[in-house]
Structure 1
Amino acid sequence: MRTLTQVLLHEQKGIVEVSWQDGTRGLFHGAWLRDNCPVYFDNSTGQRTKNTLQLGPEAYVLSACAAGPAKGQLSSGVSAEFLQVTWKDGFSHAFPSAWLRQHCYETRQHHQVNPRMWGRDLVSYFPGYVLPTLPYSDVVKVAAGSDAGWQTSAQGFVQWMVHLRDYGVALIEDVPTTPGTVMKMADLIAYHRKTHYGNSFQVVSARKPEHLAYTPVELEVHTDLNYRESSPGIQLLHCLAADAAGGESTFVDGFWVAETLRRESAEDYRTLCEVPIPFLVKDGEGFHYHKIPTICLDDAGRLVEIHFNERTRGPLELPAAVMGRVYRALAHFQAIACRPELCVEVKMKAGDMVAFNNRRILHGRKAFDPRTGMRHLEGTYVDMDEFLTCLRKHGVTPLSIVRAQEGSWARVVEGTDGLEEKGKRREPLGMVGMGGKGKGSAPRSSL
């Protein structure tokens, strides 16, 4: 499947066309091949060592042909393991067929993931649980002796992160209820992100709260810290005490809300993709302020981020002609997010730790009665790029470049975007993105 069967040079366009044994076709521009030639990259750092942008006409391909193991030219129609390319300045390189297939940029989507969008039906995916759940002992191991401290338990830790990546939310149960544990968990991914609330924050009822989260009132579903230029990607909440009546945690898939909005009103969907919404919060004598669309897309129009919080939304600063349209779209989005069939509700118990994609999952809380007992959650944040990098370090990447490691913890299937769960491949409920954000009617990428 990875051997070449045909090579064609479209000289006027500067494009090399190759075909593989399984019928797959790839188009490679000569400038791209020269720019990404492996000899121009440092083996240790992986960084480019030559400025290829200034080559100009020298980057035009003079010839291209299939080559065998000895990199000798083969006759047409014969399978080959290399693509031999020669440029007009005399530089030549043999590109392995497998490398070309892996880097076929027209079909390559290595950084795209296919999250599973869900509503209340999420409970049916994991019998016996409301959320994707793993026991603490499967995720973390505590070493003794000279190696004392927290370490990841490779199989469970990566499976937990894959659930978090795909579903946007994952829970660990039976976690020790020691204060500071949530930061240890965050630091297993990379390192926790400090905000104006500190390295971590305590969600308890306070007499003079600086935030509504520190009261016993109901909190409608929302995303956090939209008033920052880059809101945290992952939020972790560790339940230290849950004796109070009420206080159930609520989770809604913001991607599914956006997709439902798109189906019900293309105009409202487009409005929330195009119009930046202001968010602000007091911080001592000053305040944080940022504007961002409710729905962010990548350059291919895929959903990548949701930003919605009615408590911290600032006054809209829009032309009068647009104002009514934006209010209508926001109200429509909120109404969908509040539909019972889209919400998963869970009563967290002491020792539960939930993590969720703060740029996708809307989270909230039912009211609770502090007179009936204590409710105490400790939380912290991790940046999304650190989370995705941690996945890559463990050999998990979205599509065909995923490779099973020797003695792997799970069978990783080439051409899929993650794990096979209990021998059955779960089909994604929607095709969306994760990572960078684009803003406006003509979406652009970022990450």
Structure 2
Amino acid sequence: MDFTLNDRQAGYRDRVRDFMERRVWPAREAYEHELAEGQRWAPVKVMETLKAEARDCGLWNLFMPPTGAQPIDSTYVFEGPSLSNVEYALCAEEMGRIEWASEVFNCSAPDTGNMEVLHRFGTAEQKTRWLGPLMRGEIRSAFLMTEPDVASSDATNIRTRIERDGDEYVINGRKWWSGGVGDPRCRLAIVMGRSSPEAARHRQQAMILIDMTTPGVRIERMLSVFGYDHAPHGFGEVLLENVRVPASSMILGEGKGFEIAQGRLGPGRIHHCMRTIGVAEVALEAMCRRLVARSAFGKTIAEHSVWDQRISRARIDIETSRLLSLKAADMMDRHGAASAALEVALIKVQGPRVALQILDDAIQAHGGAGVSADFDLARAWATVRTLRLADGPDEVHERAIARAELAKYRTL
């Protein structure tokens, strides 16, 4: 068992790390200032500058495979270095150190998952219309699955209807926690709904493409997460009322929604977890810097023994979470997503919990400053807390883990 990174793995990680240190970290203050002083739901100019530079450096669409020299339209050739899951996971950790940094490399959710869906399952027409602009960074996208009126942790509960009417599909339903809909560049939504209600339980759902400018699509409100609106990206509640789209907008076919979702969510969960490791590393660094810089009761805070346990636990948890994430990514690379299902469930539970605990300790180390807006710890905590719900709540993954464990003994 060799844990040494090869030249390609270390090379891409180091290139992303170097770009983050040289360009993204120094631009952070300007980004935050522009977002605070300008229109909150408008693209940030600093971001567009960084994106152009990252693309020029070849750090663009890192998760996507190339398709050779054949253009999908008259002007565009797929760009992407075709990183493996392990290679991309290492880069995702570096991007995760700043909440918005993934967009710099055109690697932010939900665009990444949507682009993977289009690449794997889309028709030539769908790729030309939507995948090209997404990969060029010209538009943003959203993924509409969760609904306010049902427990969406069980996707078979979803009630949005997708009904065939001649050469069109008609969509009716209400979605929320629809990431990305607040961005004015959001032109595409992939919607999961019920297309075949009489079919078997996991064959009732479908995924379909909707142009956000289509009549009947209405963003009713933007939602906050612990008071943070996450502009200019944001999460919204969306009403779909008699939305008509061409029949060619269906992805893969009616009843294929779960099949598509499994291909979309496996790698995405690893991406999320590796980004949270980046968050945890930044929080641990902030905590340690604060502990050695402040004194109380005649000695530095770091010298009070209670912090020894918290710091050591943080380092242990980060290292174990990283290894588990990379193990899941390696299994997916070698044997496919199904082989890594258990490991993905393990890290999906472990990763956010570890980051939340380290963030909580870092907030404690900062005292009153930790819960203020002067440091980014409170906002980071709020963001990571959502990951215990996103892409399946902890309880769903814990159920899968427990079933796998119990199965070992039921077969004896």
TM-score by length of 1: 0.25
Q: Which has the higher strand share?
A: 1
**Structure with more contact order per residue of length (Cα contacts < 8 Å, sep ≥ 6):** 1
**Larger relative helix fraction:** 2
Which structure's CA Rg is the greater one? Answer: 1
